[in-house]
């Protein structure tokens, strides 16, 4: 059976639209929620724990959803994830709104938001593994990196739209953009329900394959995802405080605007890599990883050394360039390292690994920020530099030369 390449057909367009709405929600969480945290009475460690909470359950649920997509279908699991995302995001917005209106004091509000984020992670975990496995089913090995770049690019587009979308609607109410994002996710889910077909599998359906996170074929790429998202999410969690304490932007509107510009710079650069550079530069996954981790280290050092908004924006732009290379590199290498019948299982692990970083990163950065605002950035730079060196010793698969 011939496997199609990675052209953006209607089914991929529907799939990517769902991923764009998911990316919007991720960026809105930092643009809208983190700047109002102090107005809610939440301190940095509480904010970090709330953001990390959903990632605990997501890390546990994503491998299950990945394997489940082998049995129940990519389409079904993707729809469950989008529906859970819409409902979970709307209830989180209700919780934040209740805090801003003074209906709940800080203690009960913290517990409520924590519980909502835990529940959200249980159901949203199907989006990424189902999408990743769908792309693996509909691309061949030589086009796998470009296919995975589509997934990352969709998230990048969502991250670009999210701040603009939030800025345009925040005038209605600081939390209104979160409600609107939930409505868009439900609309994307409805389109997928009506028009998204189930892809043809590389192998016949059977028992759900299991893949250990310690399998040496995929462990390096899972570890890479933990580092990438631990650093990315941790830094984004403390950026609102960094903007207030180091740049002197203390009002909520100004903090939201600064975060919006920084995230836009990051998302535009990620999109530039995934939409312009990678389709022309046929680099193997190893080259993508070496380039991406070097850029991430440079961005962290730039933000740590700077004390102006320009340095912050430039550092975030470097983060975007970095993510543009590392995301397709890690997903393609992980997918190429396993057999066709294990694509659902590896997609679940590749989707769960970032959430482990998203659990640890915000908490550690929140704690270390209290010691010194630059400490989380410098620690992240050391970690990403060491990871980049490590990947020079890892035998990353090269599709042009066969499996690694």
| Angle at which helices 74-100 and 44-72 cross, to 10° | 160
Work out the average pLDDT over 180-197.
Answer: 92
- pLDDT on residue 404: 47
389 located within any domain: yes
Q: Specify burial of residue 352 (Cβ count, 10 A radius: 0-12, 13-18, 19+).
A: buried
- pLDDT on residue 8: 58
Total of domains in the chain: 1
Which has more confidence, 123 or 62?
A: 123
The three-class DSSP label of residue 1 is: coil
Q: Are 302 and 400 in contact (CB under 8 A)?
A: no
Write the pLDDT tens digit of every residue in 353-394: 877 787 788 778 878 888 888 888 899 999 999 999 999 998
323 located within any domain: yes
229 located within any domain: yes
Report in angstroms the alpha-carbon separations of 66 from 136, 153, 186, 210. 12, 21, 21, 10
Please list, in sequence order, all residues whose beta carbon lies within 8 angstroms of the beta carbon of residue 280, skipping any fewer than 6 positions away: none
Q: Are 277 and 324 in contact (CB under 8 A)?
A: yes
- pLDDT on residue 183: 93
325 located within any domain: yes
pLDDT at residue 216 is higher than 50: yes
Write the pLDDT tens digit of every residue in 308-343: 888 889 999 999 899 889 988 898 888 888 887 777
pLDDT at residue 18 is higher than 70: yes
The tokens describing 26, both together, are: 């991720």
Of 23, 291, 15, 282, the closest CA to residue 145 belongs to: 282
Element (H, E) at 70: helix 44-72
403 located within any domain: no
Q: How confident is the model at residue 1 (pLDDT cuts 50, 70, 90)?
A: very low
137 located within any domain: yes
Which has more confidence, 400 or 173?
A: 173
Percent of the chain past pLDDT 70, that is, above it, reads: 88
* Alpha carbon distance 340, 279 (integer Å): 24
Residue 402 β-bridge partners: 398
Write the pLDDT tens digit of every residue in 225-255: 999 988 988 888 788 788 777 777 767 667 7
Work out the average pLDDT over 127-149.
Answer: 76
Work out the average pLDDT over 214-223.
Answer: 90
Which has more confidence, 152 or 85?
A: 85
Q: Are 357 and 349 in contact (CB under 8 A)?
A: no
Question: Residue 380 belongs to a domain with what CATH number?
Answer: 1.20.1250.20
- pLDDT on residue 53: 79
The three-class DSSP label of residue 386 is: helix
Of 157, 221, 166, the closest CA to residue 188 belongs to: 157
- pLDDT on residue 209: 61
42 located within any domain: yes
Q: How confident is the model at residue 112 (pLDDT cuts 50, 70, 90)?
A: very high
Using a cut of 0.75, tell me whether the model's pTM lies above it.
no
Q: What is the per-residue burial (b if ≥16 Cβ within 10 Å, else e) of 319-335?
A: bbbbbbbbbbbbbbbbb
- pLDDT on residue 6: 46
Work out the average pLDDT over 62-88.
Answer: 87
Q: Are 356 and 70 in contact (CB under 8 A)?
A: no
Q: Specify burial of residue 191 (Cβ count, 10 A radius: 0-12, 13-18, 19+).
A: middle
Q: Are 85 and 185 in contact (CB under 8 A)?
A: yes
Please list, in sequence order, all residues whose beta carbon lies within 8 angstroms of the beta carbon of residue 267, skipping any fewer than 6 positions away: 27, 156, 157, 159, 160, 162, 163, 320
Mean pLDDT of the chain: 82
Work out the average pLDDT over 83-89.
Answer: 91
- pLDDT on residue 252: 67
Provide φ and ψ at 187, rounded to 5°: -65, -40
151 located within any domain: yes
pLDDT at residue 64 is higher than 80: yes
Show the domain range for 26: 11-195+217-394
Which has more confidence, 363 or 400?
A: 363
pLDDT at residue 45 is higher than 90: no
- pLDDT on residue 400: 65
């Amino acid at each position: 059976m011939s496997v199609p390449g990675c052209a953006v057909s209607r089914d991929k367009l529907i799939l990517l639209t769902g991923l764009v709405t998911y990316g919007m929600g991720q960026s809105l969480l930092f643009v809208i929620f983190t700047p109002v945290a102090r107005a809610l009475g939440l301190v940095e460690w509480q904010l970090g724990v709330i953001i990390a909470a959903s990632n605990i359950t997501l890390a546990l649920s994503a491998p299950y959803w990945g394997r489940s997509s082998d049995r129940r279908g990519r389409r079904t699991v993707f729809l469950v994830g989008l529906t859970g995302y819409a409902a979970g995001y709307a209830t989180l917005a209700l919780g934040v709104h209740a805090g801003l209106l003074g209906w709940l004091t800080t203690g009960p509000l913290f517990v409520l938001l924590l519980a909502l984020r835990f529940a959200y992670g249980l159901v949203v975990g199907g989006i990424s593994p189902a999408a990743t496995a769908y792309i693996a089913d509909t691309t061949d090995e030589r086009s796998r990196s470009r296919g995975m770049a589509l997934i990352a690019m969709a998230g990048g587009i969502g991250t670009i739209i999210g701040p603009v979308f939030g800025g345009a609607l925040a005038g209605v109410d600081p939390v209104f953009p979160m409600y609107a994002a939930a409505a868009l996710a439900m609309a994307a889910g409805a389109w997928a329900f009506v028009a998204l077909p189930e892809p043809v599998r590389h192998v016949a359906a059977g028992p759900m394959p299991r893949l250990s996170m310690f399998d040496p074929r995929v462990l390096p790429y899972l570890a890479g995802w933990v580092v990438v998202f631990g650093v990315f999410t941790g830094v984004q969690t403390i950026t609102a405080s960094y903007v207030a304490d180091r740049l002197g932007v203390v009002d909520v509107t100004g903090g939201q605007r600064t975060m919006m510009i920084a995230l836009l710079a990051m998302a535009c650069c990620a999109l530039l890599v995934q939409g312009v550079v990678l389709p022309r530069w046929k680099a193997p996954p190893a080259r993508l990883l070496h380039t991406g981790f070097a850029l991430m280290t440079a961005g962290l050092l730039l933000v740590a050394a700077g004390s102006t908004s320009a340095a912050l924006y430039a550092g975030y732009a470097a983060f975007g360039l970095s993510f543009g290379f590392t995301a397709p590199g890690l997903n393609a290498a992980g997918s190429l390292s396993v057999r066709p019948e294990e694509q659902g299982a590896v997609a679940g692990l590749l989707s769960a690994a970032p959430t482990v970083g998203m659990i640890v990163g915000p908490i550690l950065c929140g704690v270390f920020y209290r010691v010194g605002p630059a400490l989380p950035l410098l620690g992240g730079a050391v970690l990403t530099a060491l990871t980049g060196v490590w990947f020079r010793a890892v035998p990353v698969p090269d599709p042009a030369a066969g499996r690694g």
